[in-house]
Chain A
Amino acid sequence: EDKVVQSPLSLVVHEGDTVTLNCSYEVTNFRSLLWYKQEKKAPTFLFMLTSSGIEKKSGRLSSILDKKELFSILNITATQTGDSAVYLCAVHPGGGAQKLVFGQGTRLTINP
């Protein structure tokens, strides 16, 4: 069974801190790994990763994939209160599948 596990489940930090969120996966095939930010309702797309070792970056957020060790990390530097959200990791298993398999999410709280 395809599985995605995120850690930690919950994280509370102060504004300005740097955080690292983890995602490990076990899937039969692998096509891509995606990170989403979920604030109130709809998950909003952050990154799609398909190749090992290539960092994707958007402002203070960055992410990298390790296909050998089957994990990805999402880094957020100089955190702001607006970064408070649930961060979701999802894997596209490939093999013709159209679905995403999600982890349980990391709830990040940034205190002023």
Chain B
Amino acid sequence: EPEVTQTPSHQVTQMGQEVILRCVPISNHLYFYWYRQILGQKVEFLVSFYNNEISEKSEIFDDQFSVERPDGSNFTLKIRSTKLEDSAMYFCASSESGINYGYTFGSGTRLTVV
């Protein structure tokens, strides 16, 4: 069964550093998403991306965050100047036809900011 692949599975970074979380969506999918889950809290929407642009973003997704599809297969989330409160599990997801048909999550990247 096709999978959404995320790398790395765990990243530790120093406060103030920039990190890039990488995702390879399912190959024929056109819609891409990032969510995060702070330990013990709800899964929260960050951003959706379609046709090479952001289609929706949450209040969490401020100027510290950016997304990119640098080539035909990768989808990245960049977090600039990381803060302690950015520590969370970050999930990438993709969908063939948008949210109306559900989507597939990757296994996540656990980001720890120290």
Contact = CB atoms under 8 A, between A and B. Distances in A.
A contact residues, range: 20 to 34
A104 interface: yes
A102 B99 contact: no
Interface stretch (A13-21, A22-30, A41-49, A69-77): A41-49
Interface stretch (B14-22, B39-47, B62-70, B79-87): B39-47
A58 to B, nearest CB: 14
Interface residues of B, number: 26
Contact of A88 (B31, B43, B106): B43
Interface string A33-61: 01010001111110010000000000000
Interface string B1-28: 0001000000000000000000000000
B105 A102 contact: no
A73 to B, nearest CB: 19
B47 to A, nearest CB: 9
B33 interface: yes
Contacts of A90: 43
B112 interface: no
Interface string B85-114: 000010100000011111011111000000
A99 interface: yes
A42 B99 CA distance: 17
Given A31-B99, A42-B91, A42-B106, 18 more contacts: A31-B100, A36-B105, A40-B107, A41-B89, A41-B107, A42-B4, A43-B43, A90-B43, A97-B56, A97-B99, A98-B48, A99-B33, A100-B43, A100-B99, A102-B44, A103-B42, A104-B41, A105-B42
